[in-house]
């Protein structure tokens, strides 16, 4: 579904991604790990179309479409979902209103009629249970006054509502206590199907105890320098990133 070839991207003239390649097929979970500043979050931003980053070289195709030509909102409507590392607060906009607008934009893109109020509320109720979200949260403004854990749960709730083909979880585990981590990971696992895929960006192996990846990639200095199965994550946990750095620098 997703093919990234030789992707170069920079911010304020500084190159962060330096020739990244990655292929994701339906049904797969890919974990991207790597030291600070390797470009993990940049990858998430570039794939979702954040204008702050400039793509200088390379191709990204998503189900045959040139992803880089699509606006951020069209990428979302095509089925790319980003769970933000730092979800922003939008005061005054209720979750209900926000989600209904988003869901209807997705439906409009597929030439579907807006969802009825009854169906929408039923959908909200179902998906909320998935991440054990408090009923009250849905009536509050988007992320306003949410705790760190609530914000992350809210991201997964939105993911469930929008049913993406590819979800990118950017450091979803950061700032979560062990209970919240379990809830979030459970939500992600329940949403897993053979026709969707996830890219899980994380710093620590911890999350991968709950979300079992099919592939683990190490991102270092803007490139994927090592790929392997889930055992690679454990090795990284044990040995840190220095040996990988040395391997790369030796080449």
Partner 1 sequence: MSTNILDEVTTGDYKYGFTTDIETDIIPIGLSEEVIRLISTKKNEPEWMLEFRLKAYRHWLTMKMPEWAHLNIPVIDYQSISYYAAPRKNTPKSMDEVDPELIKTFNKLGIPLEEQMALSGIAVDAVMDSVSVKTTFKEALSEKGIIFCSFSEAVEHHPDLVQKYMASVVPYTDNFFATLNSAVFSDGSFVYIPKGVRCPMELSTYFRINASNTGQFERTLIVAEEDSYVSYLEGCTAPMRDENQLHAAIVEIVALKNAQVKYSTVQNWYPGDKDGKGGIYNFVTKRGICKGANSKISWTQVETGSAITWKYPSCILLGDNSSAEFYSVAVTNHHQQADTGTKMLHIGKNTKSHILSKGISAGFGQNSYRGLVKVNPAAENARNFSQCDSLLLGDKCGAHTFPYMEVNNDSAIVEHEATTSKINEDQIFYCNQRGISTEDAVGLIVNGYAKEVLNQLPMEFAVEAQKLLQITLEGSVG
Query: Is 55 near partner 1 (CB under 8 A)?
Result: no
Nearest distance from C-beta of residue 206 to partner 1, angstroms: 26
Quick one: which of 42, 154, 158, 167 contacts partner 1 (CB under 8 A)? 158
Tokens, residue 233: 């994550």
Query: Is 3 near partner 1 (CB under 8 A)?
Result: no
Tokens, residue 199: 């890219």
Task: In whole angstroms, give the CA distance from residue 22 to residue 3.
Answer: 6
Quick one: which of 6, 56, 101, 227 contacts partner 1 (CB under 8 A)? 101
Quick one: which of 92, 116, 246, 249 contacts partner 1 (CB under 8 A)? 92
The closest alpha carbon to 7, from 85, 66, 71, 63, belongs to 66
Query: DSSP 3-state assignment of 177?
Result: coil
Nearest distance from C-beta of residue 158 to partner 1, angstroms: 7
Query: Is 48 near partner 1 (CB under 8 A)?
Result: yes
- Kindly compute the dihedral angle of the four CA atoms of residues 59, 65, 69, 73, in this order, to the nearest 10 degrees: -130
> Could you tell me how far CA 181 lies from the centroid of its own chain?
15
Tokens, residue 126: 């179902």
The footprint of partner 1 on residues 11-40 (CB under 8 A) is none
Query: Is 54 near partner 1 (CB under 8 A)?
Result: no
Tokens, residue 201: 């960006």
Q: Which residues bind partner 1 (CB under 8 A)?
A: 48-52, 71-73, 75-77, 81-82, 84, 87-88, 90-94, 97-98, 101-102, 105-106, 109, 141-142, 158, 162
């Amino acid at each position: 579904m997703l093919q990234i070839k030789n992707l170069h991207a920079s911010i304020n003239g500084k190159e962060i991604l330096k020739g990244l390649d990655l292929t994701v097929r339906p049904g797969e979970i890919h974990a991207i790990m790597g030291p600070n500043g390797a470009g993990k979050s940049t990858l998430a931003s570039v794939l979702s179309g954040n204008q702050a980053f400039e793509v200088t070289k390379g191709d990204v195709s998503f189900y045959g479409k040139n992803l880089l030509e699509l606006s951020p909102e069209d990428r979302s409507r095509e089925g790319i979902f980003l769970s933000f590392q730092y979800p922003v607060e939008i005061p005054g906009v209720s979750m209900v209103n926000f989600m209904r607008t988003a869901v209807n934009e997705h439906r409009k893109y597929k030439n579907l009629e807006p969802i009825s109020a009854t169906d929408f509320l039923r959908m909200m109720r179902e998906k909320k249970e998935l991440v054990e979200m408090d009923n009250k949260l849905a009536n509050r403004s988007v992320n306003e006054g949410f705790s760190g854990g609530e914000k992350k749960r809210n991201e997964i709730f939105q993911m469930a509502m929008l049913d993406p083909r590819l979800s990118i979880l950017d450091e979803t585990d950061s700032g979560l206590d062990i209970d919240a981590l379990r809830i979030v990971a459970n939500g992600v696992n329940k949403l897993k199907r053979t026709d969707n895929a996830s890219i899980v960006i994380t710093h620590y192996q911890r999350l991968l105890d709950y979300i079992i990846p099919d592939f683990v990639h190490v991102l270092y200095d803007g490139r994927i320098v090592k790929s392997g199965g889930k055992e690679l994550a454990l090795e990284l946990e044990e040995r840190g990133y220095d040996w990988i750095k040395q391997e790369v620098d030796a080449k």
